[in-house]
Copies of this chain bind each other. A is one copy, B any other.
Amino acid sequence: MRIWTFDTTLRDGTQGEAVSFSVDDKFLIAQKLDELGIDYIEGGWPMSNPKDKEFFERARGYKFKHAKLTAFGATRFARNPVEQDANTLALLDAGTPVCSIFGKTWDLHVTRVLGVSLDENLTLISDTCRFLKQHGREVVYDAEHFFDGYVSNPDYALRTLEAAKQAGADVLCLCDTNGGTLTARLQEIVADVRKRFDGVIGIHCHNDCDLAVANTIAAVEQGATHVQGCMNGYGERCGNANLASVIALLEAKLGHTTVGSDKLVHLTSVCHYIAELANVPLEPNKPFVGRSAFAHKGGMHVNAVLKDSITYEHIKPSMVGNRQRVLLSDLSGRGNVVYKLEQHGLGDRLTDEAKRELLDRIKTMEYLGYELEAAEGTFELLVREALQPGAKFFEVVSFEVGTRMIGNRESQTTATVILRVNEAIHSATATGEGPMNALDLCLRQCLSPVYPVISNVRLTDYKVRVVDTKKGTAAKVRVLIEWSDHRRSWATVGVSDNVIEASWNALLDAIRLELMRLADKDESIEKAVEDYCWGV
């Protein structure tokens, strides 16, 4: 069955504590959602937020391929006639083909929060829906707190829907605004609404009970055909229903049609893209799209998966654009490492002794606090060093970096690096924005005359975490850096008592890896490595 998808990442999603998008971000995300084949993109609440107003102004000139842009607002204020209500007029001004408006269902909210009579609230709903329909808009009516309202006063809750329906609303969307409704109860209530109303019934769930996705699916099973949610489950408090999971379940497990299977393969990359713009790392264990969603750690599971992936994978990861990964860890048998090497097509090129030595180095690094699972670049470098034992591109003679600040003036950071490259000494001094930048500039000054290719390597993310917090400011830190050379991305890791040394090591690893890759262009490695470093 065709189920309509309504994404509210740009509106409800921005209510999440950690999430904040610039107007540029919002525009980029809307384009991505359009490419994914989302039906409705709720862009914001023009009345409540100048940023959202600006977004709609910018979007006016843009033609979406498939999606209908939607502006969000409330039913009119009680004291305003609808044609003079600033909120309603702002909705029209947004110039979108669709408006979604929320109205009160719950008698408690009508009287305590809105402060109007129950009958007056019905007029607010019907006035606003009718006015927007008269101006040619498709209207999605969001029945706020529908389930709590139904439990408190079922007749009144149904009358609010009736008011919207009579006034021409195209979709009656039932919202579990507080996220407190359990699945069995929600199912009964949706079934009752389905029985009483024809047309499109929508569902909008929040995750306060860890049930938002299950509730959305349960509503579809009772006849809802319009699903609202946020990509990655962003949203106020515990978030909205994760629309990515809902789409994957409807398409891949229940045989419904949303974006279509040809677009479903973009799901993983869209989720990671949005997480990047939100500047919130995507939880690795996110269903369907997380980096760990099809990752196998236990030695026994790995063995079974290598025999037949159906043994521990409920769908083919490629359906949603994700992939299988096999992890290195103290739980895994040696089989995992061998699998990694074979995945690289490098198994045959290593002697048994080189394999053993590699394994010892991995163990030692893990003991020191390196997390190789998160740093495939550093792991690839280990493999390549085992494969090309003679390859030495440069040696570090010394480095030095200092930061000085006088009074309230801006601080200054200067570094000096001395390297030995092909028996010649190269040195450089540079001032940078922070120690990493100063060291990086020196390194590139020394190396780029000899290896111009390193100018392609660019930092894309930098994270520091304390490994052992018991020692206060002297604690050991782990630095994880993500890099890109425009073709692919990878991460390197450094561990030290000293954040500068840890960062320096991760920086050196990234540069060395790029040089190693150039020195051995065996196509099978190139392919295996690209395959391996699946950029997210």
Residues of A within 8 A of B (CB): 14-18, 20, 48-49, 51, 108-109, 112-113, 177-180, 182-184, 207-211, 213-215, 217-218, 221, 233, 235-239, 242, 245, 249, 253-254, 279, 283-288, 290-301, 303-304, 307-308, 310-315, 327, 329-331, 373-374, 396-408, 410-411, 413, 432-437, 440-441, 458-467, 469, 472-475, 477, 496-501, 504, 507
Contact = CB atoms under 8 A, between A and B. Distances in A.
| 7 nearest A-B residue pairs (beta carbon) | A180-B314, A214-B214, A402-B402, A464-B464, A434-B498, A433-B497, A210-B245
Contact of A405 (B404, B475, B504): B504
A311 B109 contact: yes
A361 to B, nearest CB: 16
A441 B211 CA distance: 49
Contact of A285 (B51, B237, B286, B463): B237
Do most interface residues of chain A lie in helix, strand or loop, or is the interface mixed?
mixed
A402 B401 contact: yes
- What copy number does this chain have within its complex? 2
A390 to B, nearest CB: 19
Given A183-B217, A311-B113, A403-B435, A373 B207 contact: no
A183 B17 contact: no
A327 to B, nearest CB: 6
B473 A15 contact: no
Contacts of A331: 14-15, 48-49
Given A249-B210, A293-B208, A475-B462, A403 B405 contact: no
A242 B466 contact: no
Contacts of A460: 469, 472
B298 A236 contact: yes
A309 B109 CA distance: 11
Contacts of A208: 287-288, 293, 314
Given A180-B314, A401-B403, A236 B297 contact: yes
Contacts of A209: 213, 245, 249, 253, 287, 314
A498 B435 contact: yes
A397 B406 CA distance: 6
Given A210-B213, A237-B295, A221 B184 contact: yes
Nearest to A276: B469
Contacts of A411: 496, 498, 500-501, 504
B182 A249 contact: yes
A451 B209 CA distance: 48
Contact of A287 (B207, B242, B304, B467): B207
Nearest to A439: B473
A413 B286 contact: no
B499 A434 contact: yes
Nearest to A206: B314
B183 A16 contact: no
Contacts of A294: 237
A310 B151 CA distance: 14
A499 B20 CA distance: 23
A242 B182 CA distance: 16
Nearest to A176: B314
A281 to B, nearest CB: 9
A51 B477 contact: no
A112 B436 CA distance: 52
Contact of A398 (B288, B291, B407, B504): B407
A405 B413 contact: no
Contacts of A496: 411, 434
B311 A238 contact: no
26 contacts: A14-B331, A17-B297, A17-B327, A113-B307, A177-B312, A178-B312, A209-B213, A214-B215, A233-B285, A236-B297, A237-B285, A237-B295, A279-B467, A400-B403, A403-B498, A433-B474, A433-B498, A436-B499, A437-B472, A437-B473, A437-B497, A440-B472, A460-B472, A462-B466, A462-B475, A499-B499
A462 B474 CA distance: 11
Nearest to A295: B17
Nearest to A440: B473
B238 A285 contact: yes
Contacts of A16: 285, 292, 297
B210 A292 contact: no
A413 B236 contact: no
